[in-house]
Structure 1
Amino acid sequence: METAIKTPVEMLSHWVDIQGDSIYLKQPINGQYKEFSWRDVQTQMQQIAGALRHLGLQPGDKVAVLSKNCAEWFITDLALMHGGYISVPIYPTANADTIQYVLEHSGAKAIFVGKLDYWKDQEHGVGGEILRLAMPYDTMPAQYSWERLLELGTPLTEAPLPTPEQVMTIIYTSGSTGKPKGAVQTFSAYAWTCQTVVRDLKTHGEDRLLSYLPLAHITERVAIEGSSFYSGSSVAFVESLDSFVADVQRCRPTVFFSVPRLWSLFQQNIITKVGSAKKLELFLKIPLLSSLVKRKIQKGLGLEQCRLHGSGSAPIPPSLLEWYHSIGIDICEAWGMTENCAYSIINHPFNVNKLGTVGKPVEGCQVKMGEKDELMIKSPGLMREYYLQPEATEAAFDADGFFHTGDVCAIDEDGCISITGRVKDNFKTAKGKYVAPVPIERMLAQDEHVELICVIGSGLPHPVALVQLSEGASSQARDHVCASLKETLDSVNPHLESHETVDAVVVVNEPWTIENDVLTPTLKIKRHVLEKLFSEKVDGVRGAKVVWEDEVDQAKR
């Protein structure tokens, strides 16, 4: 980069000088905030970095972090940067095999373990050889506790500043198509992206951020952790899933990012509380009542002081964005990947006429359309390489340094980009015709009974849509849900090419979760897993039917 970059550690020093005694991090423990000032965070960072030196870890060593979000995650991340170590974050929901793969592939010398819901299931993936360091929560056994680390050795107060091209972190992709790949990110790429987020979203010291999406994912690490480093915002954490709503209400964030799945769950909860979607619609048409209802909804979510709402990590149905717009919540959809530090394209400032697009490239980011309308991207936030995978790295970039995103796109006359599918998601039916499933999924997902949807069809006569019902729909009569899904299917099929028409909607029995390996840790659907589970089962279900999986099972007996 032309201008000298400031690392997060330098930014921490900056805020300590300016507002050292102000509260930076708020960690709920048993429903009460434990608060850390900027100075507290710097002190603990120096002590943890000093303890790592004392334990014999050398600059350049890889150190893994396996924990749900918490104040100590930030402190650990800063300590690793300060000590010249390379962080390797692992999803707190990762199974033992994934943990073992990431630790072995990265060559991590130590691992910080923290807040974990299933550590007994994960422990054998960590193994007994690696040095374990524990954050102060209920977690797997470790050689050193956080309290011990804070007393070990001498604080590392002086350390050489990282160079821009020095490796800061290796972030393993969530593995929606197989083994995760390690994207190598430098201080330069991370700093550029964080500063760009702060520039565009105008984040400042008075902002309150909430950290709950996994910090092992680049989006949270840039949009929340990173923007706090570069804007001086305070950050609160969520204690548990059970306390989520209370934690949001207590923080009252001014900037709030979420993923489509959660925005969808919020919508269902709101409709359930009001009584029905039609009742809510009626309330919103009565002027005096409308503003009252909107305020009440926003307060109920804890978002009454939120000036910016975002959604990313997976496509969000435009109908959902329109619905939120109708209740006074404008959600800016953004697009990014692990490989480009998660921030490249965004519908910001919010433009209601561009719902269904992910907006325009941010300043400093270039896009072009490659073969098969693939979105190609170039920015200072791009990764250096895939760790220890030279062939994959070479295949990922074209001769001009543009990155192959694997997303199929369309670009309108205003330069706004729509993601219309994945190059590898397109499948060939038994008739030899290619089908792009994502546009079909988007049309079918307009049905309010649908929570998740996946269209499969490789080797089948026609595509079949697998549907997981929303929580509310699961408790409704099958006949009612079936009629609605059938009406949606019959309204979509006439708009499709003959080879794309959907043969059936199959409502699945089991919810799709991270635990049963259908969802990635960032809640993306693993299409290849569902293809494997369902292709044979649904073969032969024809005639634009809506059926439940148990009905298909009975018919096959």
Structure 2
Amino acid sequence: MISHYQSNLENFLHWANTTPNNLYLRQPHGDQYIDYSYAAAAVEIKKIAHFLQRHLTEESKNVGIVAKNSAHWMMADLAIAAAGGISVPFYATLTKDQLHQVLVHSECSILIVGKLDHWDKIKEAIPEHVLVIHTPESSEKSGHQWAEILKTENEIASLPQPKPEDIATIVYTSGTTGMPKGVMITYGGIEAGINMAREIALLDQPSARFISYLPLCHIAERNFVEFAGTAAGGTIYFVENLDTFAKNLASARPTHFLAVPRIWAKFQEGILQKIGGQKKLDLFLRIPILKNIIQKKIQKGLGLDCTKLAVTGAAPISEELMIWFQKLGIFIQEAYGMTENMGLNAVMPRDQIKLGSVGRVHPDCDTRIDPETNEIQMRAPYNSTGYFKEPALTNDLFTSDGWLKTGDQGTLDSAGFLSITGRVKDNFKTAKGHYVAPAPIENKIGTHELVEQVCVVGVNLPQPIVLVVLSAAAKFKPKEEIEQDLINLKDEVNPLLKNYEHLKKVVIVKEDWNIENECLTPTMKIKRPSIEKKYQANFERWYDSPETIIYE
């Protein structure tokens, strides 16, 4: 056990020295795994670090990673730190233009490329001066190859000694509202964050197992899986692809599991389809002798029968979904934060789940609510120092007295539980001059079994309207029943809202919102500006339509 966590690299080297033969990374390949012990990973990391060190200069220390999650992604990140570089991860789903934009802005002199679905389409985005290294998963077999570097390089002789204020990584936001911003995170911030979360994250659990499948360039996955898994001396499993996700998860049986709300909803959908519907499940759970058997069978089927810490984050989750999983013996703990505070603002206590909140504020995190805007503002030793090359945006990130502005609106109770009520910039003004916060309304609509995705809009309309993407459950229902269910849903929700928030129409859109059509971020949040732009020309026509339920 490590008495006090240090940097991610130092934590890794501790385990490489004290438990060299313990399993660190498990990369699935078909029905087999390629395994890396702590010692074996250390050899590759130190050799790649030596190569990187020879090509880095004082003026250019930024090294990019663009790849899907893999053992080599994590080893690349550690190698960058060992070389004294600054790691700059990019989403594996970026288009050619998006990749070029962040590569140029980040001033990366080296780029490590791994497994990608569209390498041939984006490779022209890389400026000529950038040195490219390809991991074994990369489809490109020319140029600098990871495997060849291992054959020719020695291990790095001396490791850097960074100061707490030195930048460890630049994390580009997923860009819900335009150009992604490069959030600078320091070595001291990572150390403070992982030590603060030690007890909450159960990092002293023996034989800790994690599974990495959400984008590693997102702060939640980086914290929860890479930083926490390495600090715990645990084993980190990976997912081969979307088709093998269920199999890989069942094989890993993680003690720690993070999923965004949409994945928890997909789990629910799959369970109900297998078991024959909600009524049948309710019946089984009411029979004492069957309840425990059903709970264990479902947990094992998902691969969550050993899970001690089940977390959700990145987007709001409905109370109904959390209660549904509690009945199965799976207690989901919501975590709240943002890239700029390393995702560490509040977390739901395992033994004190308070529905309607996002958990209790962390012990080392001061939080306040701005009395004028209801914005959540916080300060903590792990806060970002600001945005790379963006002094004006950095200045806007903080209040005059040094508190970080989250952009979220919320309330804070006397016990330290935080609730989110909306986004400062998401609020829109109707034609009647009233401001509407869409997020709380979307949370109410999104709980219905027929609704897969939801976005409330209404700029310059007399009343808001709601756009919905139907769920898989809707495929089994006739059109008339779907329409009546959605009318009933609107009639149930409206009395819970202020008069000027009442929904006028429900619009069923044809196309699913996804990353490819730029309606979702890589972390599955809706990109509100993109959705509004996509449908805005139809808003007035839909609003004036005589029907309550409208098909796009």
* TM-score for both structures, normalised by structure 2: 0.96
Cα offset for 1:141? 5.5
Distance 1:59 1:163, change over 3 A: farther
State the Cα distance separating 1:397 from its structure 2 match: 0.6
Q: How much has 1:507 moved relative to structure 2?
A: 1.1
Q: Which deviations, in whole Å up to 9, do the C-alpha atoms of 1:101-142 show, x marking residues without a partner?
A: 110001100111101122223222224442111111143465
Give the aligned partner of residue 343 of structure 2. 342
C-alpha separation in 2, matches of 1:7 and 1:446: 40
Structure 2 residue matching 1:123: 3-state secondary structure:
helix
Match of 1:121 in 2: 121
> Which stretches in structure 2 are left out of the alignment for 5+ residues?
none
Task: Give deviations 1:301-357, integer Å, cap 9, x for gaps.
Answer: 0111111100000111111111111111100001011101112200122434x1121
**Structure 2 residue identity aligned to 1:247:** N
Picking from 530, 540, 547, the partner of 2:549 is 547
Give the CA deviation at 1:449.
Answer: 1.0
**What is the CA–CA distance in structure 2 between the aligned matches of 1:415 and 1:499, rounded to whole Å?**
31
Q: Which residue of 2 aligns with 1:414?
A: 415
**Residue 392 of structure 2 aligns with which residue?**
391
1:226 aligns with 2:231: no
Aligned to 1:535: 536
Aligned counterparts, 1:181-192, within 5 A: 181-192=181-192
**Contact between 1:450 and 1:467, CA under 8 Å: does it hold in 2?**
yes
Matched-pair contact (CA < 8 Å) for 1:59–1:85: no
Encode CA deviations 1:142-167: one digit per residue, 9 max, x unaligned. 52111112124332131231111111
Counterpart contact for 2:360–2:417, Cα < 8 Å: yes
* 1:368 matched to 2:368: yes
Three-state SS of the structure 2 residue aligned to 1:454 is: strand
Alignment of 1:470-485 (within 5 A): 470-485=471-486
- Size of the aligned set, in residue pairs, is 547
CA–CA separation in structure 1 for the residues paired with 2:200 and 2:273: 36
Query: Does the residue aligned with 1:280 lie in a helix, a strand or coil?
Result: helix
SS of corresponding position for 2:468: strand
Question: Are positions 1:179 and 2:143 aligned together?
Answer: no
Of the structure 1 ranges 175-184 and 280-289, higher mean CA displacement relative to structure 2 is found in 280-289
CA distance in 2, matches of 1:484, 1:12: 53
Deviation at 1:28, TM superposition (A): 0.7
1:47 and 2:47 aligned: yes
Deviations 1:147-194 (A, max 9, x none): 112124332131231111111111011100110011011111112112
Cα displacement string for residues 356-406 of structure 1 (whole angstroms, at most 9, x for unaligned residues): 211111111110011311000111110011111111111111122210000
- 8 Å CA contact 1:133–1:142 kept in 2: the answer is no
Q: CA deviation at 1:545?
A: 5.1
- CA drift of 1:497 comes to 1.7
The alignment partner of 1:64 has SS state of: strand
Please tell me whether the aligned partners of residues 5 and 194 of structure 2 are also in contact (alpha carbons under 8 angstroms).
no
User: How do residues 90-101 of structure 1 correspond to structure 2 at under 5 angstroms?
Assistant: 90-101=90-101
2:252 corresponds to 1:243 = no
Map of 1:32 onto structure 2:
32
Contact 1:211–1:224 (8 Å) recurs in 2:
yes
Q: Is the 8 A contact 1:5 1:188 kept in 2?
A: no
Question: For residue 513 of structure 1, what is the amino acid of its counterpart?
Answer: N
- Alpha-carbon spacing, 1:118–1:31, altered in 2? closer, same or farther (3 Å): farther
Deviation at 1:283, TM superposition (A): 1.5
| Corresponding residue number in structure 1 for 2:458 | 457
- Residue 59 of structure 1: CA displacement? 8.1
Q: Is 2:109 the counterpart of 1:109?
A: yes
Task: Check whether the contact 2:5–2:231 (CA below 8 A) recurs between aligned residues.
Answer: no
Unmatched runs of 5 consecutive residues or more in structure 1: 551-557
Letter in 2 for 1:508: V
Which has the higher mean CA deviation after the structures are superposed, 283-292 or 301-310? 283-292
TM-score of the superposed pair, with normalisation by structure 1: 0.95
Provide the identity percentage: 37
Per-residue CA distance 1:443-486 (angstroms, 9 max, x = gap): 11221111111101111121111111112223432222222111
Distance 1:350 1:519, change over 3 A: farther
- 1:486/1:545 contact within 8 Å kept: no
Which one-letter code corresponds to 2:452 in the other structure? E
Which stretch has the larger CA shift, 364-373 or 467-476?
A: 467-476
Determine if contact 1:21/1:37 at 8 Å carries over to the other structure: yes
Partners of 2:207 and 2:234 within 8 A in 1: yes
| Range with greater deviation from structure 2 (52-61 or 440-449) | 52-61
Letter of the structure 2 residue corresponding to residue 413 of structure 1: S
1:342–1:56 Cα change, 3 Å:
closer
Deviates more, 1:196-205 or 1:385-394: 196-205
Secondary structure of the 1:239 match is coil
Contact 1:7 1:162 in 2 (8 A): no
Match of residue 165 from structure 2? 165
**Offset at 1:5?**
6.6
Q: What secondary structure sits across from 2:542 in the alignment?
A: coil
Residue matched to 1:498 = 499
Partner letter of residue 286 of structure 2?
A: K
Aligned residue number for residue 553 of structure 1: none
Aligned: 1:316 with 2:321: no
The residue number in structure 2 matching 1:402 is 403
Query: How much has 1:57 moved relative to structure 2?
Result: 5.1
- Relative distance call for 1:518 and 1:191 in structure 2 (3 A) is same
Identify the residue that residue 19 of structure 2 maps to in structure 1.
19
- Residue by residue over 1:516-550, the C-alpha shift from the partner in whole angstroms, topping out at 9 and shown as x without a partner, is 00001111101111111122213243489553433
Change in Cα spacing, 1:325 to 1:59, as seen in structure 2 (3 Å) is farther
Tell me whether 156-165 or 86-95 shows the greater mean CA deviation.
Answer: 156-165
- Provide the secondary structure at the position in 1 that maps to 2:224: helix
CA distance in 1, matches of 2:520, 2:62: 27
Return the alpha-carbon distance in structure 2 between the equivalents of residues 546 and 39 of structure 1.
Answer: 63
CA contact (8 A) 2:209 2:229 kept: no
Q: Secondary structure at the match of 2:433?
A: coil
- Asked if the contact 1:207–1:253 (Cα under 8 Å) also holds between the matched residues in 2, the reply is yes
- Tell me what 1:380 maps to: 381
Code of the residue aligned with 2:108 in structure 1: it is A
Q: Secondary structure of 1:468's match?
A: strand
Structure 1 residues 545 and 502 mapped into 2: Cα distance closer, same or farther (>3 Å)?
farther
Secondary structure of 1:493's counterpart equals: helix
Q: Which moved more, 1:260-269 or 1:149-158?
A: 149-158
Deviation of 1:423 after TM superposition, in Å, equals: 0.3
Counterpart of 1:555?
A: none
Secondary structure at the counterpart of residue 523 of structure 1: coil
1:262 positional shift:
0.5
Specify the SS of the correspondent of 1:499.
helix
Residue 28 of structure 2 aligns to a residue in which SS?
strand
CA–CA distance in structure 2, aligned partners of residues 438 and 173 of structure 1: 20
Give the 3-state SS of the residue equivalent to 1:529 in structure 2.
Answer: helix
Rounded to whole Å, the distance in 2 between the matches of 1:293 and 1:349 is 22
Contact 2:504 2:548 in 1 (8 A): no
**1:70-112 CA deviation, whole Å, 9 max, x = no partner?**
1111111111111110111001111222211110001100111
Give the superposition deviation at 1:413: 3.4
